[in-house]
Amino acid sequence: MKYRTVFDIIGPVMIGPSSSHTAGAARIGKVARALFAEVPERADVHFYGSFAKTYRGHGTDVAVVGGLLDYETNDERIRDAFHHAKEAAMDVHLHEEEAVVHHPNTCRIKLTKGDKRLDLVGVSIGGGKIEIVELNGFDLRLSGNHPAILVAHLDRYGVIAAVSNLLAKHQLNIGHMEVSRKEKGETALMVIEVDQNVDKALLLELERLPHITHVSKIHD
Protein backbone atom coordinates (compact mmCIF):
# COMPACT_ATOMS: atom_id res chain seq x y z
CA MET A 1 0.00 0.00 0.00
CA LYS A 2 1.26 3.49 -0.81
CA TYR A 3 0.90 6.28 1.76
CA ARG A 4 0.48 9.86 0.54
CA THR A 5 0.82 11.64 3.89
CA VAL A 6 1.85 10.89 7.47
CA PHE A 7 -1.86 10.89 8.40
CA ASP A 8 -2.30 7.76 6.27
CA ILE A 9 0.10 6.05 8.69
CA ILE A 10 -1.00 7.41 12.08
CA GLY A 11 -4.66 7.27 11.15
CA PRO A 12 -7.57 9.71 11.44
CA VAL A 13 -8.81 11.72 14.40
CA MET A 14 -11.12 9.20 16.01
CA ILE A 15 -12.72 7.59 19.01
CA GLY A 16 -10.24 4.72 19.62
CA PRO A 17 -8.73 2.30 20.04
CA SER A 18 -7.97 1.15 16.48
CA SER A 19 -7.90 2.98 13.16
CA SER A 20 -8.76 -0.20 11.27
CA HIS A 21 -11.20 -1.80 13.71
CA THR A 22 -12.87 1.38 14.97
CA ALA A 23 -12.44 4.33 12.60
CA GLY A 24 -12.60 2.14 9.50
CA ALA A 25 -15.68 0.37 10.82
CA ALA A 26 -17.38 3.69 11.52
CA ARG A 27 -16.68 4.83 7.96
CA ILE A 28 -18.18 1.64 6.51
CA GLY A 29 -21.32 2.28 8.53
CA LYS A 30 -21.38 5.92 7.45
CA VAL A 31 -21.18 5.00 3.76
CA ALA A 32 -24.04 2.53 4.22
CA ARG A 33 -26.10 5.26 5.90
CA ALA A 34 -25.33 7.74 3.10
CA LEU A 35 -26.46 5.29 0.45
CA PHE A 36 -29.59 4.34 2.41
CA ALA A 37 -30.26 8.07 2.92
CA GLU A 38 -32.24 7.68 6.16
CA VAL A 39 -32.26 5.88 9.50
CA PRO A 40 -33.14 2.22 8.87
CA GLU A 41 -35.69 0.38 10.97
CA ARG A 42 -33.41 -2.65 11.20
CA ALA A 43 -29.66 -3.08 10.77
CA ASP A 44 -28.05 -6.52 10.55
CA VAL A 45 -24.27 -6.28 10.92
CA HIS A 46 -22.23 -9.37 10.01
CA PHE A 47 -18.60 -9.48 11.16
CA TYR A 48 -16.01 -11.70 9.47
CA GLY A 49 -12.40 -12.66 10.20
CA SER A 50 -10.61 -10.42 12.69
CA PHE A 51 -13.71 -8.26 13.04
CA ALA A 52 -15.69 -11.28 14.27
CA LYS A 53 -13.04 -12.21 16.83
CA THR A 54 -12.26 -8.78 18.29
CA TYR A 55 -15.21 -6.47 17.62
CA ARG A 56 -16.20 -6.14 21.27
CA GLY A 57 -12.73 -5.25 22.56
CA HIS A 58 -11.95 -2.86 19.71
CA GLY A 59 -15.33 -1.16 19.67
CA THR A 60 -16.05 -2.23 16.11
CA ASP A 61 -19.70 -2.81 16.98
CA VAL A 62 -20.33 0.68 18.42
CA ALA A 63 -18.29 2.20 15.59
CA VAL A 64 -20.42 0.63 12.85
CA VAL A 65 -23.62 1.62 14.63
CA GLY A 66 -22.28 5.14 15.10
CA GLY A 67 -21.58 5.31 11.38
CA LEU A 68 -25.12 4.15 10.66
CA LEU A 69 -26.28 7.08 12.79
CA ASP A 70 -24.15 9.34 10.52
CA TYR A 71 -21.57 10.13 13.21
CA GLU A 72 -18.02 11.11 12.25
CA THR A 73 -15.11 8.97 13.46
CA ASN A 74 -14.28 11.46 16.25
CA ASP A 75 -17.84 11.90 17.51
CA GLU A 76 -18.03 11.23 21.26
CA ARG A 77 -21.53 9.81 20.81
CA ILE A 78 -20.04 6.68 19.21
CA ARG A 79 -19.33 5.32 22.70
CA ASP A 80 -23.09 5.23 23.38
CA ALA A 81 -24.12 4.33 19.84
CA PHE A 82 -26.43 1.49 20.84
CA HIS A 83 -28.32 3.79 23.19
CA HIS A 84 -28.68 6.41 20.45
CA ALA A 85 -29.75 3.73 17.96
CA LYS A 86 -32.52 2.70 20.32
CA GLU A 87 -33.62 6.33 20.62
CA ALA A 88 -33.69 6.54 16.81
CA ALA A 89 -35.84 3.35 16.63
CA MET A 90 -33.09 1.46 14.80
CA ASP A 91 -33.14 -2.23 15.73
CA VAL A 92 -29.54 -3.52 15.58
CA HIS A 93 -28.56 -7.19 15.30
CA LEU A 94 -24.92 -8.36 15.36
CA HIS A 95 -23.75 -11.60 13.74
CA GLU A 96 -20.38 -13.36 14.11
CA GLU A 97 -19.60 -15.21 10.87
CA GLU A 98 -17.12 -18.06 10.39
CA ALA A 99 -16.89 -17.93 6.60
CA VAL A 100 -13.42 -17.26 5.19
CA VAL A 101 -13.29 -13.95 3.33
CA HIS A 102 -10.68 -12.21 1.20
CA HIS A 103 -9.85 -9.59 3.85
CA PRO A 104 -9.83 -10.18 7.64
CA ASN A 105 -11.54 -6.88 8.47
CA THR A 106 -14.78 -7.47 6.59
CA CYS A 107 -18.28 -6.37 7.48
CA ARG A 108 -21.61 -6.94 5.72
CA ILE A 109 -24.39 -4.50 6.56
CA LYS A 110 -28.02 -5.17 5.69
CA LEU A 111 -30.43 -2.29 6.20
CA THR A 112 -34.20 -2.35 5.88
CA LYS A 113 -37.09 0.06 6.26
CA GLY A 114 -40.46 -1.06 4.94
CA ASP A 115 -39.83 -2.34 1.41
CA LYS A 116 -36.49 -0.51 1.16
CA ARG A 117 -33.35 -2.69 1.26
CA LEU A 118 -29.60 -2.21 1.17
CA ASP A 119 -26.91 -4.90 1.31
CA LEU A 120 -23.32 -3.64 1.49
CA VAL A 121 -19.94 -5.30 2.10
CA GLY A 122 -17.02 -3.17 3.25
CA VAL A 123 -13.45 -3.86 4.33
CA SER A 124 -11.21 -1.77 6.56
CA ILE A 125 -7.78 -1.74 4.92
CA GLY A 126 -5.85 0.16 7.62
CA GLY A 127 -5.30 3.71 8.78
CA GLY A 128 -9.03 4.38 8.82
CA LYS A 129 -9.28 3.72 5.08
CA ILE A 130 -11.99 1.49 3.66
CA GLU A 131 -13.19 -0.09 0.45
CA ILE A 132 -16.78 -0.96 -0.37
CA VAL A 133 -16.51 -4.15 -2.40
CA GLU A 134 -20.14 -5.15 -2.89
CA LEU A 135 -23.47 -3.34 -3.05
CA ASN A 136 -26.80 -5.11 -3.49
CA GLY A 137 -25.09 -8.04 -5.19
CA PHE A 138 -22.89 -5.94 -7.49
CA ASP A 139 -19.11 -6.17 -7.21
CA LEU A 140 -17.42 -2.77 -7.03
CA ARG A 141 -14.50 -0.85 -5.58
CA LEU A 142 -15.44 2.33 -3.76
CA SER A 143 -13.01 4.04 -1.40
CA GLY A 144 -15.41 6.42 0.31
CA ASN A 145 -12.61 9.02 0.27
CA HIS A 146 -14.17 11.18 -2.44
CA PRO A 147 -17.62 12.34 -3.51
CA ALA A 148 -19.19 9.55 -5.53
CA ILE A 149 -22.25 8.96 -7.66
CA LEU A 150 -23.85 5.51 -7.93
CA VAL A 151 -26.11 5.02 -10.94
CA ALA A 152 -28.28 1.91 -11.26
CA HIS A 153 -29.38 1.46 -14.85
CA LEU A 154 -30.42 -0.97 -17.51
CA ASP A 155 -27.49 -2.40 -19.46
CA ARG A 156 -28.16 -0.55 -22.71
CA TYR A 157 -26.03 1.03 -25.43
CA GLY A 158 -25.16 4.68 -24.81
CA VAL A 159 -26.02 4.92 -21.11
CA ILE A 160 -22.42 5.31 -19.94
CA ALA A 161 -21.73 7.95 -22.61
CA ALA A 162 -24.86 9.89 -21.63
CA VAL A 163 -23.85 9.94 -17.96
CA SER A 164 -20.26 10.95 -18.79
CA ASN A 165 -21.45 13.76 -21.05
CA LEU A 166 -23.72 15.11 -18.33
CA LEU A 167 -20.86 15.14 -15.82
CA ALA A 168 -18.73 17.03 -18.37
CA LYS A 169 -21.55 19.54 -18.81
CA HIS A 170 -21.45 20.18 -15.05
CA GLN A 171 -17.63 20.34 -15.14
CA LEU A 172 -17.10 17.40 -12.82
CA ASN A 173 -13.80 15.58 -13.20
CA ILE A 174 -13.94 11.77 -12.92
CA GLY A 175 -11.26 10.28 -10.70
CA HIS A 176 -12.41 6.67 -10.89
CA MET A 177 -15.23 4.96 -12.74
CA GLU A 178 -16.35 1.36 -13.12
CA VAL A 179 -19.43 -0.54 -14.23
CA SER A 180 -20.66 -3.85 -12.84
CA ARG A 181 -23.48 -5.98 -14.21
CA LYS A 182 -24.95 -9.32 -13.23
CA GLU A 183 -26.15 -10.40 -16.68
CA LYS A 184 -25.80 -8.92 -20.16
CA GLY A 185 -28.75 -6.65 -20.95
CA GLU A 186 -30.04 -6.64 -17.36
CA THR A 187 -29.47 -4.25 -14.44
CA ALA A 188 -26.02 -2.67 -14.07
CA LEU A 189 -24.36 -0.38 -11.54
CA MET A 190 -22.12 2.55 -12.46
CA VAL A 191 -19.80 3.85 -9.72
CA ILE A 192 -18.17 7.23 -10.36
CA GLU A 193 -15.80 8.98 -7.96
CA VAL A 194 -15.40 12.69 -8.76
CA ASP A 195 -13.22 15.55 -7.58
CA GLN A 196 -16.03 17.98 -6.78
CA ASN A 197 -19.13 17.86 -4.61
CA VAL A 198 -22.29 16.70 -6.33
CA ASP A 199 -25.35 18.94 -6.19
CA LYS A 200 -28.97 17.87 -6.27
CA ALA A 201 -29.61 19.41 -9.68
CA LEU A 202 -27.13 17.01 -11.30
CA LEU A 203 -28.70 14.02 -9.58
CA LEU A 204 -32.13 15.02 -10.88
CA GLU A 205 -30.77 15.35 -14.41
CA LEU A 206 -29.14 11.94 -14.16
CA GLU A 207 -32.41 10.38 -13.00
CA ARG A 208 -34.17 11.75 -16.10
CA LEU A 209 -31.75 10.09 -18.53
CA PRO A 210 -33.10 7.07 -20.47
CA HIS A 211 -32.65 3.64 -18.82
CA ILE A 212 -31.61 5.08 -15.41
CA THR A 213 -33.44 3.36 -12.54
CA HIS A 214 -31.85 4.92 -9.44
CA VAL A 215 -29.23 7.51 -8.53
CA SER A 216 -27.54 7.98 -5.15
CA LYS A 217 -24.46 9.76 -3.87
CA ILE A 218 -21.94 9.85 -1.05
CA HIS A 219 -19.68 12.72 -0.03
CA ASP A 220 -16.18 12.82 1.38
- Give yes or no: residues 138 and 183 share one domain: no
- Give yes or no: residues 110 and 177 share one domain: no
Whether the predicted pLDDT of 12 surpasses 90? no
Q: What does the pLDDT read at residue 104?
A: 85
User: d(Cα 180, Cα 58) in Å, to the nearest integer?
Assistant: 34
What's the whole-number mean pLDDT along residues 187-213? 94
Which of 108, 142, 176 marks a domain boundary? Answer: 142
Residue 99 in any domain: the answer is yes
Q: What does the pLDDT read at residue 149?
A: 95
Q: What does the pLDDT read at residue 122?
A: 95
What is the percent of the chain with per-residue pLDDT over 90, rounded to a whole number?
68
- Give yes or no: residues 47 and 130 share one domain: yes
Number of domains comprising the chain: 2
Q: What does the pLDDT read at residue 22?
A: 82
- Give yes or no: residues 108 and 213 share one domain: no
- Give yes or no: residues 209 and 115 share one domain: no
Which of 142, 168, 188 marks a domain boundary? Answer: 142
- Give yes or no: residues 125 and 197 share one domain: no
Higher pLDDT, 12 or 96: 96
- Give yes or no: residues 130 and 112 share one domain: yes
Q: What does the pLDDT read at residue 2?
A: 46
Is the peptide bond preceding residue 17 cis, with omega within 30 degrees of 0? yes
Higher pLDDT, 164 or 73: 164
Question: Residues 45, 51, 56, 59: is their CA dihedral positive or negative?
Answer: negative
- Give yes or no: residues 34 and 132 share one domain: yes
- Give yes or no: residues 105 and 36 share one domain: yes
Residue 213 dihedral angles phi and psi, to the nearest 5°: -105, -25
Whether the predicted pLDDT of 87 surpasses 80? yes
Q: Which domain holds residue 101?
A: 18-142
- Identify the bridge partners of residue 191 per DSSP, sorted by sequence position: 150, 178
Element (H, E) at 59: none
Segment 18-30, tens digit of pLDDT: 556 688 999 999 9
Q: What is the CATH classification number for the domain harbouring 50?
A: 3.30.1330.90
Whether the predicted pLDDT of 71 surpasses 60? yes
- Give yes or no: residues 118 and 201 share one domain: no
* From 5-9, 77-81, 172-176, 215-219, the region with the lowest mean pLDDT: 5-9
Q: What is the CATH classification number for the domain harbouring 154?
A: 3.30.70.260
Which of 142, 166, 191 marks a domain boundary? Answer: 142
187: nearest Cα among 149, 148, 156, 150: 156
